[in-house]
Chain A
Amino acid sequence: MPHDASQTSAESPALLLHGVRKAFADVVAVDCLDLEVPRAECFGLLGPNGAGKTTTIEICEGLTVPDQGKVELLELNWHNHADELRQRIGVQLQETQFPDKLSVEEVLRLFRSFFRRGISVDESIRTAQLEEKRAARVGTLSGGQKQRLAMACALVGAPELLFLDEPTTGLDPQARRHLWDLVDQLKQAGRTIILTTHYMEEADRLCDHVAIMDHGRVLALGTPQQLIASIGGEHIVEFAFTARENASSMADIALLTAIPGVQSHRSVAGLHQLSVRELHTAVPRIFAELDRQGLHLSEFRTHSATLEDVFVGLTGRNLRDE
């Protein structure tokens, strides 16, 4: 019985990658990747385009065969248990276009027929909140509705493990929040979800653990809070300045980082960034120091540290730089 099997193996990870490597021609897409995702958790692969997220998730989905390394899902592997695995996972690919001339219900009936067990078509339509679009042709759906249909297709087999590849890319903010609510529901239902994204808000909001990827490698792994804490300060102070007359246009960075509560300094695209533990004590001192050095602020702002700042800290680039 599948139900019993999942109970007895509740301790084993839902997904295990060990030493996975994949190269296309001479481009290494994924390099020596190790990942372990426990059951009933939402795990995010966060990184810019070209970081190897899609290759990684497609290796997990059995669509791409890795050059080397071990891939285990639900204690099974693609080499020996492909049919069994396809029955037990749900997949949403980055850019599937369902036939425009089929209705929502027809597409779901088709996908439901592939699975030995699963939820009813009605239930999948309800879960994806597509009740009003049940009889509508796919060609008439909005981007967000199409994405929810793709999600419903991934859910009809009642998967134990759900893969979502950039589920909200290209959606407007409202459609994105709508999809986040859907993922929240699935998390609460105890499903294991693995998603890729290049939106740090998305990873922050949805994921229990996040792996930050770049150039086919995992740069950092942890809960969003751990990752943000790793850069040392909870706040980011950003500023730019111009020099006053008779003053050097270069700031003495060492004096800025010496201010109590300032953890680190970075210069990104002409902006200086300081990560800071407590804004109310650090900011007046930063003002005073810049003034003392004869520098005139042309820009100044602060924000709470995010996964974006973690990525910038790790790579010196912004997530959305292509």
Chain B
Amino acid sequence: MNKLQLSSLYQLSIMRFRLTLREPEAIFWVFIFPILLAVGLGIAFRNRPADVLQVAATTPQLTRALAADNGLAASTMDESAGSRALANGSILLLAIQQPGGVAYQYDDTNPDARSARLLADRVLQTAAGRRNPIPAVDRLVHQPGSRYIDFVVPGLLGMNLMGSAIWGIGFSIVEARQKKLLKRLVASPMRRWQFLAAYLISRLTMLVLEVVAFLGFARFIFAVPIHGSLWQLAALCVLASLSFSALGLLVSSRARTMEAASGLMNLVMLPMWILSGVFFSATRFPAVIQPIVRALPLTAAIDALRGNMLQGIGLQHMLAPIAVLLAWLAVPFAVSVRIFRWR
């Protein structure tokens, strides 16, 4: 045996690689699933023309006038049928002919219904002879960098970093504890820090593969841009992955059964899937919960990734999310090393 094979850190790390690569499900969730998700979302949102909004009017004349706008599809129905159609969502707005005018019936909390109101009113007023006092032209934006796919790719990347770190580390530690392998290892002269270091080494190596595969796919298939520095992007991925690894370690530091660990992991990750802005901007949540949303590691990771990729912001201008990630690295790691159950 050569020197490398005699090194316990090498053997522990290589064990982690083997166990990961010999688990086909893990490969699917880490490599294939995020790409499938990106493909699905990319197709769903790719070059889609602006929505045509369904509206209705109570007279045929009004219907014809509304249909003159490209953004509206109009049909004729009486008031009671129209109300039912509004209630089941098949139309967004009902224009009711009234003596000397028109009434719009719609739900103003629905953004699409508000759009329909503006379009309907515009086309009716214009048909009645309104002239715009200021000339205006539209410049449409369908450039890479501002599409939904561009927005969602950093979100998916952050989500993937979180999932692979927490699942990858959490489950295998708890499994080793449940099968008494941890106990057997601490009965041997193994250095305990090396056991944990092996997890980080394998995690960071797998990270390179994951991130390159996913971003490469997004870059070549959807032309998702990376405006910021690649080195800084790599540093952000490493930092985020380490923070989530520390969280995974914390989650698995006491649990004795896979069921307990699985519950804890969902408890930790579910709020972040919902609140951290993977699929839409986290700023949409009410101001009251914004401090909580901002303090979540996934929000910080996604903000930083979007800042780098979409806006090209340097690390020096994203100190807040970096500080959040560092805190999530230091505190869970320190706590889990103290409370870790080796047997």
Q: Contact residues of A with B, CB < 8 Å? A: 61-63, 83, 86-87, 91, 93-99, 101-102, 106, 109-116, 120-121, 153, 157
CB neighbours of A120 from chain B (8 A): 1
Contact B8 A61 (CB under 8 A): no
Contact B189 A157 (CB under 8 A): yes
Per CB-CB distance, the 9 closest pairs between chain A and chain B, nearest first, are A97-B179, A86-B189, A113-B8, A113-B11, A96-B184, A101-B22, A91-B187, A110-B11, A114-B190
Contact A101 B188 (CB under 8 A): no
Interface residues of B in 38-85 (CB under 8 A from A): none
Contact among B23, B184, B186 with A101 in the assembled complex (CB-CB below 8 Å): B23
| Cα A165 to Cα B7 with chains together (Å) | 28
B178's nearest neighbour on chain A, judged by CB, is A97
Contact B189 A110 (CB under 8 A): no
The SS class assigned to the B binding surface is helix
Q: A101-B23, A102-B19, A110-B12 are in contact. Are A121 and B1 (CB under 8 A)?
A: yes
Interface residues of B in 178-212 (CB under 8 A from A): 179-181, 183-184, 186-190
| Cα A102 to Cα B181 with chains together (Å) | 13
Contact B180 A99 (CB under 8 A): no
Assess whether B219 is interfacial by the CB under 8 Å rule: no
CB neighbours of B294 from chain A (8 A): none
A304 to chain B, nearest CB (A): 38
Contact B180 A93 (CB under 8 A): yes
Besides the contacts A61-B187, A63-B183, what 18 more A-B pairs have beta carbons closer than 8 Å? A86-B187, A87-B189, A93-B180, A97-B180, A98-B181, A99-B15, A99-B19, A99-B176, A99-B179, A101-B23, A102-B15, A109-B1, A110-B8, A113-B5, A113-B8, A113-B12, A115-B189, A153-B184
Contact among B6, B18, B343 with A113 in the assembled complex (CB-CB below 8 Å): B6
CB neighbours of B186 from chain A (8 A): 63
Contact B180 A111 (CB under 8 A): no
Contact B184 A102 (CB under 8 A): no
| Cα A106 to Cα B183 with chains together (Å) | 19
CB neighbours of B31 from chain A (8 A): none
CB neighbours of B343 from chain A (8 A): 63
B20's nearest neighbour on chain A, judged by CB, is A101
Interface centre among A111, A113, A121 (most CB of B within 10 A): A113
CB neighbours of A102 from chain B (8 A): 15, 18-19
Contact among B1, B11, B180, B188 with A86 in the assembled complex (CB-CB below 8 Å): B188
A156's nearest neighbour on chain B, judged by CB, is B188
| Cα A99 to Cα B175 with chains together (Å) | 9
CB neighbours of B8 from chain A (8 A): 110, 113-114
CB neighbours of A115 from chain B (8 A): 188-189
CB neighbours of B179 from chain A (8 A): 96-97, 99
